[in-house]
Amino acid sequence: MSSSPLDHYESLKEAVKQTEGHDSDDVSDALRSVCAASFSFLQGCRPVQLTSQVPDKSYFSFKDRNNKHSRAVNPALFVEDFTLVDDFLNAVKTESFEALSPEDTTKACYTAAMSFCATVDLKKSGDKKSPGTFFEYLVGHLFSKRLGVNPRKQLKVLNLDMDAKLPTDFIFDLGQNRPKFHVPVKTSTRERVIQVWAHQRVLDGVYGTGRFSGVFVCMNETKTDKRKSEVTEICLPKQWRVYQLFVAQLKRIYYLDVPEKYAELNEVFPKIVVLPFGEFFREADELAE
């Protein structure tokens, strides 16, 4: 119980490696320990209000004793009581997904992911990798439990005289005559997002359009100007529409903290379905049909 969040993170990495899967009880327990230790660590830090330039959203950051600040946290999604996260992770472990509403699921996931990310911001310097990897493990675990199948991270490309292995994001293969999901995971996108559409394009090209459903999972798009303590959201909706028209089609984009500019894409042509992550648990069976 006295281990630090970062020690628990090391155990999580080991659990993912040992079990070669993302749906094991070991991974489930390790994820819970990371989240609980991080959440508890943040209780000893002071929340500091930030100036939000994002309409209808407020943000704060955690400040530690050395005056170091974490990334921006949305209090409408970050719960004050760890019980909700605990209930959610238990529901996932026992695969009783009906227990929670999509709204509570989104909050539980946001709190779980943000607890560790904010902790790394405070406890380490310049570590961008651990938050990204942790978020990937979290989403990998949730998808594999919800879909009932473990992901792969490599695909064979057979092309006559050429035999290459394509490293990919998560691939969840539900078996013959059922969909396969291509699931890229990122904490935020900025200018790198074209990769997501480009990977989908490669899969469409190699295996035929429609064989893989592209489902992109992302945390948020906030950016904090530390000097001004100001939070903005960096969004490029027009470019997303160009990519959706001319590179490939993504089936779903889930955010923990949905940027309004992207939510608006549900209403225009080409329609891009952007939803809070909790909705995935509700509609997964539908998507998997």
Residue 234 near a second copy by CB under 8 A: no
CB of 194 to a second copy, least distance (A): 5
The residue (of 49 and 195) whose beta carbon lies closer to a second copy is 195
CB of 269 to a second copy, least distance (A): 7
Residue 161 near a second copy by CB under 8 A: yes
Token pair in block for residue 71? 């990334």
Out of 209, 239, 283, 285, the residue judged to bind a second copy by CB under 8 A? 239
CB of 165 to a second copy, least distance (A): 8
Token pair in block for residue 107? 């909050």
Subset of residues 4 to 43 that bind a second copy, contact rule: CB under 8 A? none
CB of 182 to a second copy, least distance (A): 14
Q: Which burial class, exposed, middle or buried, applies to 267 when counting CB atoms under 10 A from its CB (0-12, 13-18, 19+)?
A: exposed
| Binding residue count for a second copy, defined by CB under 8 A | 28
CB of 122 to a second copy, least distance (A): 20
Query: CA-to-CA distance for 256 and 109, rounded, in angstroms?
Result: 7
Place of tokens 């903290």: 257
SS (H, E, C) 219-276: CCCEEEECCCCEEEECCCHHHHHHHHHHCCCCCEEEECCCCHHHHHHHHCCCCCCEEE
Residue 245 near a second copy by CB under 8 A: yes
Residue 147 near residue 281 (C-beta atoms within 8 A): no
Out of 81, 154, 162, 175, the residue judged to bind a second copy by CB under 8 A? 162
Residue 153 near a second copy by CB under 8 A: no
How is 14-78 classified by DSSP, letter by letter? HHHHHHTSSSSHHHHHHHHHHHHHHHHHHHTSEEEEEEE-STT--EEEEE-TT--B---B-TTTS
The residue (of 52 and 244) whose beta carbon lies closer to a second copy is 244
Subset of residues 181 to 210 that bind a second copy, contact rule: CB under 8 A? 192, 194-195, 197-199, 201-202, 204-206
Q: Which of 205, 137, 209 lies closest to 180 in space, CA to CA?
A: 209
Residue 267 near a second copy by CB under 8 A: no
Q: Which stretch binds a second copy (CB under 8 A): 34-42, 240-248, 253-261, 271-279?
A: 240-248
Q: Is the dihedral of CA 95, 96, 97, 99 positive or negative?
A: negative
Give the footprint of a second copy on this chain (CB under 8 A): 157, 159, 161-162, 164-167, 192, 194-195, 197-199, 201-202, 204-206, 238-239, 241-243, 245-247, 269
